[in-house]
Structure 1
Amino acid sequence: MPKIVDHEKQKEKIAEAVWKVIHHEGLDHCTVRKIAKEAGLSPGSMRHYFPNQSQLLIYSMQLVTNRVKTRIEHMEWPGTPFEAVKQLLLQFLPVDEERKLEMEAWLAFTAKSLSDPELRPLRKEMNEGIYSACKKAVDTLAQTAEKPDIDVRLETERLYALIDGLALHSLIEPEQISLEVIDSVLTSHLKSLGG
């Protein structure tokens, strides 16, 4: 009896292999041969799933977006609005190994999207998702704030910049931007919004 292959699981396995190669060697060294080896597949079988590198990168990038969305959809929202907002925003930060791999891949894809127009729509989608989460966070905290005169647009931009900055700096300088620093900076900022 022939072996039944779950093609979607195989594609995810390949995309995760892309993330690992990026983690170990960078996007410039993300060759079909290295990805196939990491995924435990032959280079020929990879071409069955992804005929070219752009399609592989698009799928890998989309998988990052989908994983973040799935985590948010399955979140159990903690008690206070402050805690709920904080947990929402932590989904976009490299606070565990899975999110670290995703964020490293995401940053590599973002840089690549500057020269590869096929990647730009997904970059835009993810950035809009992060911005939307930041706006939701600010709106939620503004509703519960003692000082209701928060400039939601300005504070959304500040929070969006903070999330991007924390993510980037924690990957570039992990000794300096530890999980404790991420938590402390995010908590302090959210409290300044009335959390």
Structure 2
Amino acid sequence: MPKLVNHETRRRELAQALWRVVFRDGVDAVSVRSVAAEAGWSSGALRHYFPDQRELIAAAMRLVTDHIAARIQALEPEGTLEEKAVAYFEQLLPLDEARRTEAEVWFSFVTRARLEPKLASLTRAVNGELRGFISSILAQFPIDDPTAPGRMHALIDGLCLHLLLYPEAVTPADARAQVRAELSGMLR
């Protein structure tokens, strides 16, 4: 009897192998051959799922956003509306090892996307989705400032970079406090 294969699971496994290559060796080390080796596959088997390197990178980028979306959907924060909003915004920050890996891999892809139009369109789409998510959270509050979503988005992006690049200067506790302070300031 032929073996049943879950193709979506296989695609996810390959995208995660790409993450490991990026995290360990950098985005320039990504190739069909390096990812296939990391996954324990042949290059030909990998090409069955991803015909070229660009498709593989795009799938790995989508996997980052899928992880974040799944975490947000599973979240059931308690407390005040403000505490719940902060809990959602914290899902976008690299406050633990898993989110740090996602953020490092994502920023590697964003850098790469500056040179590849197909990947650039994907990063723009994700950026728009992120802005929409932040706007939807802030829409629950009596905030009369149309710049509020952009300011929160910029704060979250900046905190992501600082948490990755300067972890000795910006701790997860600092980042949480800054998000809370920004939200509180918007509500005054």
Same-fold status (TM-score > 0.5)? yes
| Residue in 2 that maps onto 1:194 | 187
Which residue does 2:18 correspond to in 1? 18
Q: Where in structure 1 do 4 or more consecutive aligned residues deviate above 6 Å? A: none
Identity score, percent:
35
**What does residue 30 of structure 1 align with?**
30
CA distance in 2, matches of 1:11, 1:171: 27
The total of aligned residue pairs comes to 188
| Cα separation, 2, equivalents of 1:125 and 1:67 | 16
Q: What is the identity, as a one-letter code, of the residue corresponding to 1:122?
A: L
Q: Deviations over 1:63-94 (max 9, x none)?
A: 22222222222221323111111111112111
Q: Which of 146, 157, 163 is the matching residue for 1:164? A: 157
> Quick one: distance in 2 between partners of 1:123 and 1:81?
30
Deviation per CA, 1:90-146: give whole Å up to 9, x if none: 1211122222222112111111111101112221221012111222233223x2xxx
* Aligned partner of 2:166 among 173, 177, 180: 173
**Mapped contact 1:17–1:35 kept (Cα < 8 A):** yes
Alignment match, 2:40: 40
SS in 2 for 1:193: helix
Instruction: Structure 1: give runs of 5+ residues left out of the alignment.
Output: none
Partner residue, 2:105:
105
- Which residue matches 1:87? 87
Distance 1:10 1:131 in 2: 31
Aligned residue number for residue 73 of structure 2: 73
Amino acid at match of 1:47: R
The CA distance in 1 between the partners of 2:105 and 2:173, in whole Å, is 23
Partner in structure 2 of residue 124 of structure 1: 124
User: One-letter code of the match for 1:57?
Assistant: I
Q: Distance in 2 between matches of 1:175 and 1:2?
A: 53
Stretch of structure 1 that moved more, 43-52 or 61-70: 61-70
Does the 8 A contact of 2:32 with 2:52 survive in 1? Answer: no
Alignment of 1:136-175 (within 5 A): 136-141=136-141, 143=142, 150-151=144-145, 153-175=146-168
1:44 Cα deviation after fit: 2.0
Q: Secondary structure at the match of 2:147?
A: helix
Give the TM-score normalised by the residue count of structure 2.
Answer: 0.91
Contact 2:17 2:38 in 1 (8 A): yes
Counterpart code for 1:7: H
